[in-house]
């Protein structure tokens, strides 16, 4: 990946690799280090300006993909950060911790499965203790497994997808609200799938619709408390979620080829919108969903 920072003008159609890519099957949840080409999370490109100095953030799915890019950006903007991830993703997580600490902030990791309500409650309590408070919650972690037909989706898969994508978000938000001061923010991660559903994502797409609805309800409930709630809806983004069962390998090869910019987005290309929504720059923005889709607009 190019080490040029995100402020250098470039042609967005060729700024990052374009398909075709090679087949690269991984076991879920997958590792960023094993992807070809390796995703850009902003390791060499994100430049911070202190926009989140003094803030305290918890990010789920912070080991790789969008969550990793957000963690790096937040740290370089001056925020202390706790990341959550699965035990299988420890290698990626340790890389992120090292990068964040190089920015001079406090960075912590708490592995565990957010499909469990008790763990979600423990995660919030631990983050509050580690950072002596919490004022940004970023829900990124998600589960995606393709199936040709709803007849192929087992109850076990359906349950795991909804627990990871929807129940965990509900549990984490419910646990964090009592700790949030005025000015705090919650940022959820929806998807273009909430609006334009792929036929092979019969359980994943509905979870993203639920996230959009929950975000808007929660934003209206918390507005009077001075807490803002928004969501980001990415299009096709080059993360381990895709080759580790999120897409069939024939689609991985051509991933992102059908959108106007002709390529998948990189996690680094979403980091700035999360920073904006977390910062005071977006003080009059709540109950919104921001699309980052490469030209496939939200309705």
Q: Where are the beta strands (DSSP E) in 97-149?
A: 107-111, 136-139
Q: What sign does the CA torsion over 46, 135, 102, 66 have?
A: negative
> Is the Cα dihedral 54, 181, 127, 41 positive or negative?
negative
The distance of Cα 43 from the centroid of its chain, to the nearest Å, equals: 16
Short-list 247, 267, 272, CA closest to 257: 247
With beta carbons less than 8 A apart as the criterion, state whether 142 and 86 touch. Answer: no
Per DSSP bridges, beta strands 107-111 and 136-139 are: unpaired
**Which of 18, 32, 23, 108 is CA-nearest to residue 65?**
32
DSSP, res 237: B
Q: Which of 46, 195, 204, 274 is catalytic?
A: 204
CB atoms closer than 10 angstroms to residue 152: 12
204 carries an active-site annotation: yes
Alpha carbons 108 and 92: distance in angstroms, whole number = 14
Residues labelled catalytic: 204
């Amino acid at each position: 990946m190019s080490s040029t920072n995100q402020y250098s003008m470039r042609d967005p159609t060729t700024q990052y690799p374009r398909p075709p890519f090679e087949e690269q099957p991984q076991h879920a949840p997958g590792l960023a280090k094993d992807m070809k080409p390796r995703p850009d999370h902003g390791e060499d490109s994100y430049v911070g300006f202190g926009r989140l100095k003094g803030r305290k953030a918890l990010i789920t799915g912070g080991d790789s993909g969008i969550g990793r890019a957000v963690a790096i950006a937040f740290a370089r903007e001056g925020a202390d950060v706790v990341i959550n991830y699965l035990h299988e993703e420890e290698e990626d997580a340790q890389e992120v911790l090292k990068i964040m600490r190089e920015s001079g902030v406090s960075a912590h990791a708490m592995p565990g499965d957010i499909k469990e309500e008790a763990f979600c409650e423990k995660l919030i309590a631990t983050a509050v203790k580690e950072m002596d408070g919490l004022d940004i919650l970023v829900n990124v972690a998600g589960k995606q497994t393709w199936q040709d037909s709803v007849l192929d989706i087992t109850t076990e898969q359906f349950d795991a997808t909804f627990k990871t994508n929807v129940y965990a978000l509900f549990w984490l938000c419910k646990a964090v609200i009592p700790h949030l001061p005025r000015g705090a923010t919650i940022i959820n991660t929806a998807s273009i799938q909430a609006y334009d559903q792929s036929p092979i994502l019969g359980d994943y797409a509905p979870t993203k619709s639920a996230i959009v609805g929950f975000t808007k309800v929660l934003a209206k409930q918390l507005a009077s408390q001075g807490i803002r709630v928004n969501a980001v809806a990415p299009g096709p983004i080059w993360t381990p979620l895709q080759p580790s069962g999120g897409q069939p390998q024939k689609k991985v090869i051509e991933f992102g080829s059908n959108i106007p910019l002709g390529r998948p987005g990189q996690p680094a290309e979403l980091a700035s919108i999360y920073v904006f929504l977390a910062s005071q720059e977006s003080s009059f923005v709540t109950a919104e969903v921001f699309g980052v889709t490469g030209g496939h607009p939200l309705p």
